Structure 1
């Protein structure tokens, strides 16, 4: 196993480095220290062909200018915060409003748009890159100096583990996730509409027309949101369900998980044979089927369009600060925040 390091770009006299984690079977994960962006993941199909299964760009400048959060770690808070403000310990904090009147994915300069320090660890069974960043008090409106770390580890079982940690000198909010768009067809040969998905979840969050949770938990049974057994993504795109239509004909919804570290999220592409199994300790996952992607520009040489990738963002429930019935993302002073999500890349049994 090994980690290959090379220069990828430069910003404000700081070097952006590219790290490729390679296991003994040929699986590769490539990431950069700008936004902890995962730029490529190479896994085999049923014929043994290694191809890239995530969306991204060839050039650093495209990541700087891109608006889709390809492969990034988002924070301090993933998802939307209503009205770009929140109350904490009797004080009101005003955040950047970077999506209409709301705050999205950490603001104008969230964790996805900063250079992180990086350190590499290699041994016989796994290799990892640990990214660290000090988010200063007041950054994008949030209180507290927060030391955050994100570690990507690849092992010989074709698994990627992402570990997040944070420590703040004031009470604040922290809810991090990874925003990788997966496409198991390999090298973006097809869209993700014929991918099937299963989720151990019996409830999803109702959204309003700003894609903010109303606070209501809806039952998945009898709806296109029932992923308790394999369901094609196409079924949500073709659906007349008001929630699918609201999201731009597809999914952009948080699901409440009924179990953790229990193969609770499985994505499959029958044509390539590839599977992705996700296990997490987070309470929920946001499923986004790429409904807002525009037909402009290219993604690794493929014309951009809707439904080219699917995000499976393990995290706390969006806008939880405004919904006391949701699990809290308040990080108390000197309390340690931790989160872990594991991605296992495999092949469907014949």
Structure 2
């Protein structure tokens, strides 16, 4: 084989230079065909500007340069971060390569929120370290962002499945000044079509009753993979699947495995409660001079609509596909005299899920006779996941300066008492278990929500689980919220082989006050012909990093 001559080597050198010139342009052409736009040009910092973390320009590019076709950061010299002038919507794919020096640390600014690209020596979360290449080697990073939620892949390994970016859409992509030497190159971005059409509702058969009647299950889903499941027996919410800080989805409301388990009886897991949620003293009330006697199913009192309340009825359901939400509307007629209540009552409950990870429950009802009504949903929440244990470490905030003290049978005395200086005080976030032993039997109390004059829809509660990072806000039009810490929950109930127990969940039941029909100073629960009962509650889910 002939040995290469100088001419050959010189020719090869020209070829290499030519290839270096051709390949970037070829790459740009390929990007254009695939819809990607290149943000770095490999020559200078055109299109980029120096700024503080909030995007405010500083004009100081010290420490930032272009070396061998890559944006180079020398953190020992840099005093600013680097932002691109091109902004991007919450539906994009971002691809780039990065290379870290020894003990280097940097990240991306994504609409005001930091994503840690590399964090030496620990390399951030363990799964990042397992996916990352050693110092001095190039890494491939992809962020597939849909409605502000990113699926992130590092060198072919998925390291985040549902990572929420920030909310400042006025910012372009930012490169962080942190520690050591860092290089970025081949920074490309492609705008995706809106994912609003990924809202969906699907019907399936959950099971059959003893007489062969089908019970349907409606699954609502959004663009982020969040799902809510509602069955027609009891209009029951049997699942709300939301991500934790690592993107892992679990069901955060207590449920049972099968329809047969529900038919055997249960403590109202996720069911709609009516006609009257909570207690009515003496199982009777007077309306327009007429005394009505109700089913006494709680030691001489009435509770939750009776033994065969709305939680044991088969509701009629219709799916709804809206531009802004996936929904299912359920209807029920409660006949005159049902559990002793007057009037034919027509009830509609609508569950809807949007792309802001908000689950909304709307309640409406009409009657043909004067009656009383108080509807709620009796979901048991555990943000660590159903069956994961107790919720005593969950932090709870209640937007309530007062609560309703009760007698030994949990009937309100009529007093509205301040929470300040008592273990009932959750006006700032506190672990549920921090003072629960000071409350005989645990929490099972109605709180009076703070409402400004004329204010209808307002914050009721915030709940967060420090372990998973999951958060839930509850907003409502109702005047009260019953906080129940599942004090009597039995281990005869469970899901997936995991048994429940006392205080394995907390109920935040938005509602009117217990025994309002017998307490004239409480907000009225009377509904008359020609009027429409209308209330709604929103559960807003998020992640605390």
Give me the TM-score of the superposition, normalised by structure 2.
0.62
**Distance of 2:260 and 2:386 partners within structure 1:** 21
**Distance of 2:317 and 2:519 partners within structure 1:** 36
- 1:25-73 Cα offsets, whole Å, 9 max, x none, are 1000011011110001100000000011000101112112223100000
**Distance of 2:251 and 2:223 partners within structure 1:** 17
Q: Is the 8 A contact 2:387 2:500 kept in 1?
A: no
Q: Kindly indicate whether residue 476 of structure 2 is the aligned counterpart of residue 280 of structure 1.
A: yes
RMSD over aligned Cα atoms: 1.2
Deviation at residue 2 of structure 1 after TM alignment: 1.2
SS for the counterpart of 1:290 is coil
- 1:133-179 Cα offsets, whole Å, 9 max, x none, are 11110111111001100000000000011000000000001110000
SS for the counterpart of 2:416 is strand
Corresponding position of 1:298? 494
**Distance of 2:496 and 2:476 partners within structure 1:** 29
SS for the counterpart of 1:106 is coil
> Structure 1: 5+ residue runs without aligned partners?
none
- Where in structure 2 are the equivalents of 1:61-72 lying within 5 Å? 61-72=260-271
Deviation at residue 90 of structure 1 after TM alignment: 1.3
- 1:225-255 Cα offsets, whole Å, 9 max, x none, are 111100111024222xxxx20xx2x100000
Corresponding position of 1:140? 339
Corresponding position of 2:428? 229
Q: Is the 8 A contact 1:276 1:345 kept in 2?
A: yes
Deviation at residue 85 of structure 1 after TM alignment: 1.1
**Distance of 2:339 and 2:206 partners within structure 1:** 27
Q: Kindly indicate whether residue 224 of structure 2 is the aligned counterpart of residue 25 of structure 1.
A: yes
SS for the counterpart of 1:214 is coil
- Where in structure 2 are the equivalents of 1:13-162 lying within 5 Å? 13-162=212-361
More displaced 10-residue stretch of structure 1: 269-278 or 115-124: 115-124
Q: Which of 416, 420, 429 is the equivalent residue of 1:217?
A: 416
**Distance of 2:271 and 2:409 partners within structure 1:** 23
Q: Is the 8 A contact 1:274 1:347 kept in 2?
A: yes
Corresponding position of 1:178? 377
Q: Which of 223, 245, 257 is the equivalent residue of 2:449?
A: 257
Corresponding position of 1:313? 509
Larger RCO of the pair (alpha carbons < 8 Å, separation 6+): 1
Number of equivalent positions: 342
**Distance of 2:392 and 2:265 partners within structure 1:** 23
Corresponding position of 2:533? 337
**Distance of 2:484 and 2:262 partners within structure 1:** 19
Q: Is the 8 A contact 1:128 1:151 kept in 2?
A: yes
Which has the larger Rg? 2
Q: 1:321 to 1:150 in 2, by over 3 A?
A: same
Deviation at residue 191 of structure 1 after TM alignment: 1.2
Corresponding position of 1:327? 523
Q: Is the 8 A contact 2:286 2:292 kept in 1?
A: yes
More displaced 10-residue stretch of structure 1: 1-10 or 317-326: 1-10
Corresponding position of 1:10? 208
Deviation at residue 124 of structure 1 after TM alignment: 4.0
